[in-house]
């Protein structure tokens, strides 16, 4: 009986009717579109490599034990792989409207927590797939890894469905689910062993991250800097109640342009992305008449810790080839200096801020907090997670996550993927979030917004501001790197 990690359980517990907690993407392909049955056969052939996609979450009343995964006794692939068409003429406006409606729908918690929507009718003879996966199953980096199960790096001609799934292949047989007695017994054993495992694993968690007195001292000093940043006045007007529906908008940027900015100004690609996002929020607040001196937009910036160690003491599922498919992420809080008028100064402030967060290993703090939450009873974890996401808070205004994708083309059933647009969920009280995904020579900025409180006009200003911010930085003189303080 495989139980959820603390972080995975947190993502599962915080979901409610106005906060769907799935991540997602839209992949667009060159035509012609495949047949639905061919696509169904491909999914059926790949599912054995990702067993989690045929499992459901099981809990007991009051969350007295950690949730666990169990095979879906009534799994139906046709329910999860759906088929529809974009209304004519299938242009960006029609595609974004349909994609936003599909991505807003909560996943059925009584079934495996994923869906894929096969879209036909995109202009230019193209077609697409909208993928939705609950955050308790996988983070953005893990989601990119799972794509490899469906995609091929070469344009091999698609084999007939009969060749991909042989009629002689034995059908999948779900493992019988545990009885109530087994669930209670297993939960009692886990409840007794879990704190002991967490406690014994803490030294192994801390030592690789803060193994020397100097690292521990830098981390402590970094906490002081982080506290000062949290005391900075933030644009709390971006916080507020949200509804169940979403707007989803995307724009693209040239990877070569971003790299040129990085090289000429001596910063990182992530610095450039954050600076462009800062420009977008500056324009939005200015358009609303809410831009004030000294104000910041505080962003949660997820950080992958997937390379630190395997599953760690917190558990975590694996794919059929042993790869991790649960969440392995931490996060830092970054002040986006929206009140600063000069784009280059904004970039320098972000560069220095990110350097401080990295050198003092502030992401370890959030990671350690997650580990310590593992000592809490599941009921307390559930109540705490829900309270944290339902109580209004002015601390964080947005989320900005950057997921690197492949620089080589990917193919599905012989058709090349020409674009991929990411979707990030927003928590209660956060009305806007931005996900960035790189593929081939392009960056895609996917902006998620609450439908009720963020009109299309606001999204127009925000996305245009992101593009303007990149253009401004691109006009900086080549080779003129930022001065080091």
Residue 8: its pLDDT value, please? 84
User: Which structure tokens are listed for 471?
Assistant: 């253009």
CA 479, 472, 301, 68 torsion-angle sign: negative
Nearest-angstrom CA–CA distance, 313 and 207: 14
Mean pLDDT is lowest, of 102-106, 201-205, 274-278, for: 201-205
Return the pLDDT at 458: 97
pLDDT at 162: 46
Res. 308: pLDDT tops 80: no
pLDDT level of residue 281 (50, 70, 90 thresholds): very high
Residue-range domains of the chain with CATH: 2-180 (3.30.559.10), 212-474 (3.30.559.30)
pLDDT at 103 over 50: yes
Q: What is the pLDDT of residues 373-418, one digit of tens each?
A: 555 555 555 555 555 555 556 789 999 998 888 889 999 999 999 9
Question: Considering the entire predicted model, what is its pTM?
Answer: 0.84
In angstroms, rounded to a whole number, what is the distance separating the alpha carbons of residues 354 and 17?
A: 35
More confident residue, 261 or 155: 261
For the chain, what is the mean pLDDT?
A: 82
Confidence at residue 460, expressed as pLDDT on a 0 to 100 scale: 97
Confidence category of residue 324, pLDDT binned at 50, 70, 90: very low
Q: Categorize the per-residue pLDDT at 182 as very low, low, confident or very high, splitting at 50, 70 and 90.
A: confident
Residues 15-42 pLDDT 10s: 888 999 999 999 999 989 999 999 999 9
Give me the pLDDT at residue 310, please.
38
Residues 458, 465: Cα–Cα separation, whole Å: 11
Task: Specify the pLDDT at position 484.
Answer: 40
Whether the pLDDT of residue 63 is over 90: the answer is: no
Distance CA 395, CA 265 (A): 31
pLDDT at position 477 over 50: no
Question: Residue length, the chain?
Answer: 485
pLDDT in the model for residue 469: 96
Q: How many whole angstroms from its chain centre is CA 370?
A: 17
What pLDDT shows up at residue 137? 86
What number of CA atoms fall less than 13 Å from residue 219's CA on the CB side?
16
DSSP per-residue codes, 202-229? HHHHHHHHS-SHHHHHHHHHHHHHHHHH
Maximum average pLDDT range among 149-153, 211-215, 310-314:
149-153
Q: What is the mean pLDDT of residues 136-151?
A: 64
Is the model's pLDDT at 126 over the cut of 90? yes
Q: What's the CA gap between 81 and 95, in Å, rounded?
A: 18
pLDDT reported for residue 321: 44
* DSSP H or E stretch at residue 473: helix 456-474
Q: What is the mean pLDDT of residues 68-95?
A: 95
3-class secondary structure, 2: strand
As a whole number, mean pLDDT of residues 256-272 equals 93
Q: How far is CA 287 from CA 94, 405, 458, 462, in A?
A: 26, 33, 8, 10
Asked if 40 contacts 150 with a C-beta cutoff of 8 angstroms, the reply is no
Q: How confident is the model at residue 470 (pLDDT cuts 50, 70, 90)?
A: very high
Rounded Cα gap, residues 409 and 415, in angstroms: 10
How far CA 241 is from CA of 104, 107, 237, 288, 452, in Å, comes to 16, 21, 11, 18, 9
Q: What is the dihedral of CA 139, 142, 147, 152, to 10 degrees?
A: 160
Report which DSSP code applies to 111.
S
Highest mean pLDDT among 365-369, 466-470, 473-477: 466-470
Max CA distance (Å), the chain: 70
Query: Cα(339)–Cα(294) distance, rounded to whole angstroms?
Result: 6
Closest listed residue to residue 189, CA positions, set 3, 61, 329: 3
Mean pLDDT for 198-208 is: 64
List the catalytic residues.
135
Question: Taking phi first (over 0 means left), then psi (-120 to 50 degrees means alpha), and beta for anything else, what does residue 159 get?
Answer: beta
Tokens of 163: 């060749």
| CB-count burial class (<10 Å; 0-12, 13-18, 19+) for 94 | middle
CA distance 163 to 165: 6
The strands making up 411-412's β-sheet, listed across from edge to edge, are: 81-85, 114-122, 126-134, 22-29, 415-423, 411-412
What's the whole-number mean pLDDT along residues 281-301?
A: 95
Q: pLDDT-derived band of residue 166, with 50, 70 and 90 as boundaries?
A: very low
Asked if residues 446 and 250 have their Cβ atoms less than 8 Å apart, the reply is: yes
Bridge partners (DSSP) of residue 58 are 68
Q: Which residue has the higher pLDDT, 405 or 109?
A: 109
């Amino acid at each position: 009986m495989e139980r959820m990690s603390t972080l995975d359980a947190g993502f599962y517990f915080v979901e409610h009717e106005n906060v769907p907690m799935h991540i997602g993407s839209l992949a667009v392909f060159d035509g012609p579109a495949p047949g639905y049955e061919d696509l169904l056969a491909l999914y059926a052939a790949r599912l054995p490599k990702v067993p989690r996609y045929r499992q459901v979450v099981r809990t007991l009343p009051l969350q007295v034990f950690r949730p666990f995964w169990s095979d879906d006794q009534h799994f139906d692939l046709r329910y999860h792989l759906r088929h529809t068409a974009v209304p004519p003429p299938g242009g960006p406006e029609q595609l974004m409207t349909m994609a936003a409606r599909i991505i807003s729908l909560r996943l059925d918690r009584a079934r495996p927590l994923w869906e894929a929507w096969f879209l036909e009718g995109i202009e230019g003879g193209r077609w697409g797939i909208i993928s939705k996966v609950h955050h308790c199953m996988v983070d953005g980096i893990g989601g990119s890894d799972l794509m490899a199960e469906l995609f091929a790096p070469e344009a091999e001609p698609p084999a007939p469905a009969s060749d991909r799934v042989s009629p002689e292949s034995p059908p999948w047989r779900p493992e019988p689910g545990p009885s109530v007695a087994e669930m209670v017994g297993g939960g009692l054993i886990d409840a007794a062993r879990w704190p002991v495992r967490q406690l014994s694993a803490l030294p192994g968690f801390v030592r690789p991250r803060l193994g020397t007195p100097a690292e521990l001292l830098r981390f402590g000093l970094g906490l002081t800097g982080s506290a000062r940043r949290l005391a900075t006045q933030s644009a709390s007007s971006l916080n507020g109640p949200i509804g169940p529906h979403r707007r989803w908008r995307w724009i693209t940027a040239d990877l070569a342009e971003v790299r040129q900015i990085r090289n000429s100004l001596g910063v990182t690609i992530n610095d450039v992305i954050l600076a462009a996002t800062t420009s977008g929020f500056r324009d939005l607040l200015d358009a609303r008449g809410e831009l004030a001196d000294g104000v910041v937009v505080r962003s949660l910036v997820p950080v992958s810790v997937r390379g630190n160690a395997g599953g760690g003491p917190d558990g975590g599922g694996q794919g059929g080839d042993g790869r991790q498919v649960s969440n392995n992420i931490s996060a830092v809080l970054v002040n986006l200096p929206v009140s600063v008028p000069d784009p280059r100064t904004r970039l320098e402030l972000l560069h220095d801020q990110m350097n401080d967060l990295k050198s003092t290993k502030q992401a370890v703090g959030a990671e350690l907090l997650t580990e310590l939450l593992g000592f809490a009873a599941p009921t307390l974890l559930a109540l705490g997670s829900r309270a944290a996401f339902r109580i209004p808070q002015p601390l964080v205004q947005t989320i900005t996550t950057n997921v690197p994708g492949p620089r080589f083309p990917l193919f599905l059933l012989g058709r090349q993927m020409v674009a991929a647009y990411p979707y990030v969920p927003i928590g209660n009280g956060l009305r806007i979030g931005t996900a960035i995904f790189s593929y081939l020579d392009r960056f895609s900025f996917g902006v998620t917004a609450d439908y009720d409180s963020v009109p299309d006009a606001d999204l127009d200003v925000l996305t245009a501001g992101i593009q303007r911010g990149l253009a401004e930085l691109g006009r900086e003189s080549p080779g003129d790197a930022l001065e080091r303080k």
